[in-house]
Amino acid sequence: MAEHGPRRSPAKRRAILDAAIKVFTDQGYARASVDAIAAVAGVGKQTVYGHFGDKEQLFLAAIQEARSAVSAGDAEGTPGVALSGDPREDLTALGGRILDIALSPRVSALHRLTIAEVAHHPELQRTWRESSASADRAVADYLRDRDADGRLRVPDPARAARQFSHLVITEGRVETAYGMLPLRPERRHAIAADAADLIIRAHHP
C-alpha cells in the first residue's frame, strides 16, 4: 500500500517515474522489476512501494507522467491551444495536441509495450484506458459547452469525445507505425481537421 503524508518526496517520485519509464521501455513490463527501477532511481525498493503501491500502479503512473510531460491541463487550459469557441478551429487544435501526446516518443514506446504484453497481462489494457480518460473528458467538456451555446448538438458528449480521440489517434498511429516514424506538420493538421469535420457534420444543429 502506498504511503500517505509528508514523508513523500516529490524529487524521489520524479526520479522513480523517470526510472520506471526507462526500465519498462527497455525491458518490457514482465521483465521489469521493482528492484531494477529502484536501482536506476537511486532509491530503496520500499521507497518505490511507498509511493506507488505495486508494479501495475507504477506502470499507470509512468504512462500518466509521459503524457503530462507533453501536455498538462484540461480543454480550456491546454498549453499551446488558444480556444475561440469556433468548433472547427478548436477541435482541429485539440486534435493536434492529442496527436502530440499520443505520438510523443515516451507515450508511443509505452503504448507499443502495452500491445506487446497485453496478451499475458490483460490488466495493462485497463491501465491504458484509465490513463487516456482525462483527454477524453477534456474534449467532452468542450463539446458539452458547444451543445449548451447551440453551436453543436451533442446529446452524448462523452461518446462523441471518445469517437473524436479514436479517429485522431488511430490515424496518427497507423501513419507513423505506432510512433516509429515522424508525422509531418501538414499531415498532423490534416488528420486533426478531418476528424473535426466528421464530428461537426455528425453534430451540426
Query: What are the tens digits of pLDDT across the range 157-173?
Result: 999 999 999 999 999 99
Give the burial class of 30: count Cβ atoms within 10 A of its Cβ; 0-12 exposed, 13-18 middle, 19 or more buried: exposed
- Whole-Å CA distances, 187 to 45, 81, 99, 131: 44, 18, 11, 26
Query: What are the tens digits of pLDDT across the range 137-196?
Result: 889 999 999 999 999 999 999 999 999 999 999 999 999 999 999 999 999 999 999 999
Q: Name the DSSP letter for residue 43.
A: S
